[in-house]
Amino acid sequence: MKRANMDRSTGNRRDQVVYLAAAWCLSYPDGELVERVPLVRAALSEFPGALPGFAPVLDLLEATPPMDLQAQYVREFDLGRRHALHLSYWTDGDTRRRGEVLGYFKEAYRHSGVLVDLDGELPDYLPMVLEFAARVDGAAGRDLLQRYRASLEMLRLGLLRDNLPHARILAAICATLPGKSPQDEQEVMRMAGYGPPTESVGLDPYDPRLLPVRRS
C-alpha cells in the first residue's frame, strides 16, 4: 500500500497499533510476518491490555514451523468460507450486489489519496482495510469497519466457535468500535437489521452470510 500523503486523521494511537498488528496477524504467514513478531509485541506492550488478545497468535507464529503455519492458514482462511476475510462476503454473499459494494471500498481509498496495490485481493480484504485505517486515513478506515461491524462480529463468532486464537484479535478490533459485541449470531442479525436479501446466487435466503448492513 503506497501512501500519497500522511494520515490526516487525529486517530487514537492505540487503535492504530491494534489495527496494524491485526492486519499483519490476519495475513498469510510468510517469513516477513514471522520476523515482525517481536516488533508487534513491542508495539502492543506500550498500551495496557493490548497484548493479551494477540499473544496466542504471536506465540503460534514463533513456535510453529513455517510450512505448518501456512498450511493451517490456507485451510482456515482460504479453502472455505467459514472464516472469510472479505467483509462484503458476509453481507452480500455471492450476489450481483457485491460488485457495487466493492466499488464503495475502492472509492474510500481513492478519496483518501492513496494508491492501493491490491496484490490480487479484493478491496474489502480485512487486513487491507485494517492497514488503511492504521496508516492512511483513520477516520475513513474506522467508518469502513463500523459499516461492516456485522461482518466482523460474524467472523469473530466463527473463529470462536472453531476455537481459533484469531478470535481474540477480532474481539480487539471490535473493541475499538462503538457498542458492545453481540453474544451470538441472532444478536448480530438484529444489529444489522435482519431480513432476506433481495437477490442471491446459490445461497439460502436466510444464510447468515447475507446479513444486510443497516445504512445510516
| The dihedral formed by the CA atoms of 50, 178, 80 and 55, expressed in degrees to the nearest 10 | 10
Q: What digits encode the pLDDT tens for the residues 64-121?
A: 999 999 999 999 999 878 899 999 888 877 666 777 888 889 888 888 876 666 677 8
Q: What digits encode the pLDDT tens for the residues 136-177?
A: 999 999 999 999 999 999 999 999 999 999 999 999 999 999
As a whole-number percent, the residues of the chain with pLDDT over 90 amount to 57
Higher per-residue pLDDT: 159 or 212: 159
pTM of the model: 0.82
Domains in the chain with CATH codes: 9-198 (1.10.3480)
CB 20 within 8 Å of CB 148: no
The angle subtended at Cα 188 by Cα 141 and Cα 96, nearest 5°, is 65
pLDDT of residue 199: 42
pLDDT of residue 54: 98
- Distance CA(41)–CA(105), nearest Å, equals 30
Mean pLDDT of 59-67: 96
Q: What is the residue-averaged pLDDT of the chain?
A: 83
Is the pLDDT at 1 greater than 70, yes or no?
no
pLDDT of residue 116: 63
